[in-house]
Amino acid sequence: MEPFELSLTAAAAEIGARRLSPVELVDSVLARIEATEPVLGAFACVTADAAREDARRAEQEIAAGRYLGPLHGIPLGVKDLYDTAGVPATSSSRVREGHVPDTDAVAVARLRAAGMVVVGKTHTHEFAYGAITPTTRNPWDPGRIPGGSSGGSGAAVAAGSCMVGLGSDTAGSIRIPAALCGTVGLKPTYGRVSRRGVASLSWSLDHVGPLTRDVVDCALVLDAVAGFDRLDPATVDVPVPDSTAGLDRGIAGLRVGVPVNYFGDHVSEDVAAAVRAAVGVLEEQGAQVREVTIPYADQVLAAEWGILLPEASAYHQEALRSRGDLYTDDVRLFLEVGELVLATDYIKALRVRTLMQQGWAAVFDDIDVLVTPGMPVAAPEVGATHVTWPDGTTEDVTTALVRLTSPGNLTGLPVLAVPVGSDGAGLPLGMQVTGRPFDEATVLRVGAAYQAASTTVGRIAPVV
């Protein structure tokens, strides 16, 4: 087994015991990047020299007895939306070509402080404004998209080209590539992790968080990045618990909600069956399954787009005026449409969101977590514009990909994406576990309970 194939926890155990050097691990990962990038195109840039230097320093620190913990020496891929000191941060856009920030985004700085080694910047759909990531291919089938916008992180983590990828999620951009590439992904509670230094798409819907190979890794990274930041006014000054502490406590008696509406509409039979089976696994471990009704389901997409479109256009307005021709056509169109939205319509979308948040809070009076499909389909083919459903209707790919994840952005609740096996073609399928505000610990515990009974969480894609 090559070092890049180890789980983060296994690699950390080897590093902590000085049986594996961060230098060996990073070299193995860099070699994996070199082998897979011609097919994947997951990275906007690879920072091999800096990574080797950081790995050497980590090796020396550990040799000198200054082991920082399980993230020390672990290779990290950072979505190109994040600022990285001295390394280009282009948001995969010509608009930001040549932009080299002076400082790291808060999440990057915190992970570096925990000893992680940045191996490169991963591709995003331009400015995170899309669910495809056209630069990048799916590691399970290069004829398929990885999803987006954190498609580079999803593809790289699944392929073994890094052990953790940072992502961001405004309408599902962590959970979409996680589901389509077969990784774990966490959209933390709105306000749990600082977004300072990450290019904004729609600040009232934006979340940052990790994509990882398994649930334990995800908890480790969350604990390192979580916490109040006075300069991200959305962050909330609440205690950050140790998410890894109760991961193996089991889920006996936990009330698992399963929706009777919305999340079952236009979902492939493969996905539905895989999620049903996953719920069965949770039930076998003592969870109590309860049916729940999703409130304001008909308003999800109107609210999501009614907020996202104008917020994105406000953020990009100056660049659109001065350098509009540098955007790709699809993103420029979105930005132009967003400029036409009236304030009163945006405000109505905000009001619907508030009602939705109240409605979901009431749903969680009766359950501890909600389990739903992650994506309605496995990864679509590259170039596909529509999904065709058995009832003869079609749906554009972007709508299909954001439809089941947007409620998490509107409600701000923490959502964990967990792989639940594959379809007949070997493509990964995913589920989402949603919890109460700031209760990432419980969604991670449910993910860990499922993972313990699963053979497919943590797999590395062959990149065929």
Residues that bind its own copies (CB under 8 A): 230-231, 233, 309-311, 313-314, 317, 338-348, 351, 354, 357-358, 361
Bridge pairing between strands 288-292 and 255-259 = parallel
Q: Which is nearer to its own copies, 37 or 311 (CB)?
A: 311
Q: Taking the complex as a whole, how short is the minimal distance between the CB of residue 415 and its own copies, in angstroms?
A: 20
DSSP annotation of 454 reads: -
Compute the chain's Rg from CA coordinates: 20
- From the candidates 91, 92, 93, 149, give the one annotated as an active-site residue: 149
Q: Which long-range contacts (CB under 8 A, 24 or more apart) does 358-364 make?
A: 359/295, 359/296, 360/294, 360/295, 360/407, 360/411, 360/413, 362/295, 363/257, 363/292, 363/293, 363/294, 363/295, 364/257, 364/436
Q: Residue 233 or residue 426: which is nearer to its own copies going by CB?
A: 233
91 neighbors 199 (Cβ within 8 angstroms):
yes
Contact yes or no for 268/404 (Cβ under 8 A): no
Work out how close the CB of 306 gets to its own copies at its nearest, in angstroms, rounded to a whole number.
9
- Render 260-303 in DSSP notation, one character per residue: SSSTTTT--HHHHHHHHHHHHHHHHTTPEEEEE--TTGGGHHHH
Tell the smallest beta-carbon distance from residue 350 to its own copies (Å).
Answer: 9
Q: How far is the CB of 268 from its own copies (least distance, A)?
A: 35
Active site residue 149: yes
Residue with tokens 């309860």: 290
Nearer to its own copies, 9 or 299 (CB): 299
Which residue's entry shows tokens 């860990």?
Answer: 448
Measured from the CB atom, the residue of 84 and 313 that comes closer to its own copies is: 313
Which of 79, 91, 406, 454 is catalytic? The answer is 79
DSSP-assigned states of every residue in 384-406: --EEE-TTS-EEEHHHHHHTTTH
- The CA-based dihedral angle spanning residues 33, 34, 37, 39, taken in that order and rounded to the nearest 10 degrees: -120
Which of 166, 232, 175, 219 has the alpha carbon at shortest distance from 408? 175
Q: Are 313 and 81 in contact (CB under 8 A)?
A: no
Residue 305 Cβ vs its own copies, minimum distance, rounded to whole Å: 12
DSSP sequence for 97-159: TT---SS--HHHHHHHHTT-EEEEEEP-SGGG--SS-TT--BTTBTTB---SSSHHHHHHHHH
At closest approach, how far in Å is the CB of 171 from its own copies? 17
Q: Which is nearer to its own copies, 339 or 395 (CB)?
A: 339
Residue (92 or 357) nearer to its own copies, CB? 357
- Cis bond before residue 422 (omega within 30° of 0): no
- Give me the catalytic one of 92, 153, 161, 173: 173
Residue closer to its own copies by CB (options 22, 197) is: 197
The answer to whether 224 touches 114, Cβ cutoff 8 Å, is yes
- DSSP state, 455? S
What does the block give as tokens for 418? Answer: 């967990």
Q: Is 422 a catalytic residue?
A: no
Residue 357 beta carbon to its own copies: minimum distance, rounded to whole angstroms = 7
CB of 168 to its own copies, least distance (A): 19
Q: Which residues are catalytic?
A: 79, 149, 173
